[in-house]
Chains A and B, each alone.
Chain A
Amino acid sequence: MTETGLATGSRPVQEARPATGMRRPRRPLGVGLARPTVLILTGLWVAGPLLPLAVQAFTDQWFYPDLWPNRWSLAGWEQALGPQSRLAEAVATSIGIGAAVAALATALGAAAGRALAWHRLPGRRLIELVLLAPVLVPPFAVAMGAQIVYLRAGLADSLTGVVLAQLPAATAYATLLMSGMWAGVDPALERQARTLGAGAWRAFREVSLPQLRGGLVVAAMFAFLISWSDYLLTLLIGGGVVTTVPLLLFATAAGSGNQAATAAIALVAVAPPLLLTALAARQLAGRDTALLGVGR
């Protein structure tokens, strides 16, 4: 399964660069489309479905078949942020769970990534396969089986339980990402530091860590986003007691019929992913972001 490396970054893939100087006489099919058109289409594609949310959140009267709302209102926000909706609480819960998952998964992934990139491991294929399993097997198959164990251990309906349930997938992604990052760090540098008398920890902290900083940020961000997006694991293990933003959003979307409040909550839920990605865009090579695509 190492071939999935192409999509996951465990094998370094060169970033796409234009062939300078060499222009091929005839371009292959598909280039016939004007490029600005493709670019505009990409923008419309990504933003198109999200923009109506932004309109919907600020109106309470947008009757069919009007193409534009005939009254603006903050009623949706009042409902979403009001005392009954528990949105602020849900945001805090989501951030808390996400931070815990991010910290744990990044630490585990950084250690495992170093082992995968630098060390000889017995049964490497098997280890890689095991680490890839959470990427391929639908996580709820696991959560359904594990729910009883969480119940018996007293971890069901608790924040700890939800963190533990979300951790394997986040760890798998963090490991895949960090093994790619470690592969770009030269092991000889740490050896030199050791030769000069530094201990193992100090050699890591002062030699490799500075080079890994960007990778660690990206890994933590991915782990956080995996946690932030999760719905079903939180529902199954959290039992509806642990209310995160996705749970609130689903309940409002499916149960309330209040489209303005639904849109308002959706905007709150979509802001952190967009902000984090935009801020980290410079850190992200195409291959790294590819991970986000499956980072539920």
Chain B
Amino acid sequence: MTDTAQAPIVAPRSGPGSAGPWLLTWRRFKKHRLALVSGVVVLMIYFVALFAEIIAPFSTETYSANYTYAPPQLVRMFGTDAEGSTHLFYVNDYTVKIDPISLSRAFETDPNKVIPVGFFVRGEPYKLWNLFDWDVHLFGPQEKGHPFYLFGADRLGRDVFSRTVHGARVSMSIGLVGVTISLLLGIFLGGISGYYGGWIDESVQRLVEFLKSIPTIPLWMGLAAAIPPSLDPLMVYFWITVILSLLGWTDIARVVRGRFLSLRTEDFVVAARLDGCRQQRIIWRHMVPSFMSHIIASVTLAIPGMILAETALSFLGIGLRPPVVSWGVLLKEAQNILAVSSAPWLFLPGLAVVIAVLTLNFLGDGLRDAVDPYAR
């Protein structure tokens, strides 16, 4: 307590020492370099997911029988093509040798054949967000029909890079949607548990303990297997998120409950109550804002778990199924060790998973450290 008896009451939020809680959080967060960088990467991944159609050079289903299991091409700079004109970016074309016995294709990059790569090139038409017809891609081969496989091709000659970019939309959004459902459940159940206490608290806590004691993956598998395979892909997506959040809300509920318990007796809450505020107002105007930052941190830490769970389920073939493209669905292609030993680039979608999970973890860690601006 400051000695308010002598000093006149100072208007709040004036001068450098009284920055708002969000500004203080931001200042602390900025010091955490790794978290800051991770935050930028996470934003970039979501940006890619949002504009997948533009960023991916091809659609998810574009296939080419000539380029099955074609290895990744390297983007090179300053290449001269057959006509003698120089291109800033280019990739080398393949020369294909077909093995006469096994009929498998052996690819070699041909340094003399230059495929110019450009930005904002016209390629396959698509419908952005199912709304706008367009055919401009962020980058791609300047001439339609030329092979352009940054991450190589899969068994049908589909571009793994394009599919990974499209997969980001499903995989990253399933984390967000799942966490939103978990958050609503968690705040609601954790909130009544911490606010009311007594038998409500007791039963919610037992429920949390019960859910935590079941091994999640067998249960998820059981629930996911119950989704009929004939269901519309969108509904499958919906049910998978519901299944994931059914078990995912418990951690958030614990955080919310803990905050409610400790805030219930805080001076400002007691003051608000004595001022005659309605209960809803106390909860939403006084208590929730004061632990919102904690919620954001634990939500960020919950997303990677969801992404991993979806990937695992789809990988096993009981989550999302083709034609839906998610990182898990893509990794299912890598399940066959024989295919992978000749085409290890099928692992590349896994790299996307690792980067997404890693950066989300770092971001969440940084946020958690930064959220308590008044501590210490």
A pairs with B: no
